[in-house]
Structure 1
Amino acid sequence: MGLSPLQTELEALPWAMQSMLVHNKRRMNFQTDCADLVKMVSRPKEWPAFENLLAEVEKYKRQFQAFSLTHIPRTKNTKADKLAWNSRDQPYDVYYINSVPPVSLPEPL
């Protein structure tokens, strides 16, 4: 049995968080078009089936000076949406690494 789309979103978040921490990015705003992922991270106790993955997210969250996860509409996330849909038709894994550095939160004054 494969992963659900929601579980796939949740599996990707700790990977992204760890990747930013490795590059010493300690102030991050992660964005997702998955509203349930934002709910899961903000209220993990309401999602007991994902307890282990959410504990991993919490572990990484504590390592950031500033962390946020915000929902963006799918219409504003067209590149990721297109990649996701196109990858479903491929008989092999699809990887995409964005060459644009992530936008960090502004430094406090």
Structure 2
Amino acid sequence: MWLIWKNRNSILYADTQDSTSRMLQDMKEEVDQWFFLNSTTAGVDSSRTGVAEDDKWQLPEIGVLKCNIHANWRNAFLHSGVAWITRDHEGNVSHHSRDALCHMPNRMVAELQCVLWAMRSLRDLQMTKVTIALDYQEVMEAIISPQKWPGFRNLLEQVEKLKGEFESLTFECVKASSNGIARDIAKSVLRDGRYQSYLALGGPSWLHDRILRENQRSNV
């Protein structure tokens, strides 16, 4: 029912839809994944999945940069806006970046490509201890159990390979409410026609006040 509802919204709001065979495959994968994650023998807990329950942005550990990412996927015929922003254990912004990805066939591919783009950027900036925070649960599940997502094997293998280039890299699934800065930067790509790749020190000036408020809330 959840996937039918999501496909309905894709038709109404994004002018695209998955084929019936694709939907059935996704349903099977969702059911298999649900049983796997809820199996008493699977040994999966919140420390493994990295699922955060807080509504507000949380500070990373000392010495670790938190990189919030988001992919704003519309449909297969439009660009997808992507963004990441890094902050340290005091909430200070290190860098932020945005870009546009072309012809992503579905949101899952867009999100995984966003993960890879962020990882490559962080590697090139020589950030060695990172927590990547994202708000799309399916991507988190695919990274944890890639064997359950054979349709995305190539992308997941690239993620696993890139992980080896960091001293420490973990993934954390967060609520959308605590990922608002990255989401707004990603949405600005398509909304404002900012298709050119962009990397800058610090945070965007138009979100400066919100970043400060998030930092203050995380220290409460």
The TM-score with structure 2 as length reference comes to: 0.41
Question: In the alignment, what sits opposite 1:51?
Answer: 153
RMSD: 2.3
Q: What is aligned with 1:71?
A: 173
Q: Which amino acid aligns with 1:78?
A: G
Q: After TM superposition, give the deviation of residue 51 of structure 1 in Å.
A: 0.5
Pair 1:88–1:59, CA change in 2 (3 A): same
Match of 2:123 among 21, 34, 41: 21
How many residues are treated as equivalent by the alignment? Answer: 101
Q: Percent identity?
A: 23
Residues 14-45 of structure 1: CA deviation (Å, up to 9, x unaligned): 11111111111111100101111111111111
Q: Distance between the aligned counterparts of 2:164 and 2:132, measured in 1?
A: 15
Q: Return the offset for 1:93.
A: 3.2
- How far off is 1:49 after superposition? 0.4
Q: Which has the larger radius of gyration?
A: 2
Tell me the equivalent position of 1:105: none
Mapped to 2, the partners of 1:15 and 1:87 lie a distance apart of 15
Q: Distance in 2 between matches of 1:6 and 1:57?
A: 14
Per chain length, whose mean CA-contact separation is higher, i.e. which structure has more relative contact order (CA < 8 Å, sep 6+)? Answer: 1
Which has a greater percent of strand? Answer: 2
2:211 corresponds to which residue?
Answer: none
Change (3 A) 1:94 1:8: farther
For structure 1, the 5+ residue unaligned runs are: 102-109
Q: Does structure 1 residue 42 correspond to structure 2 residue 144?
A: yes
Structure 1 length normalisation: TM-score? Answer: 0.76
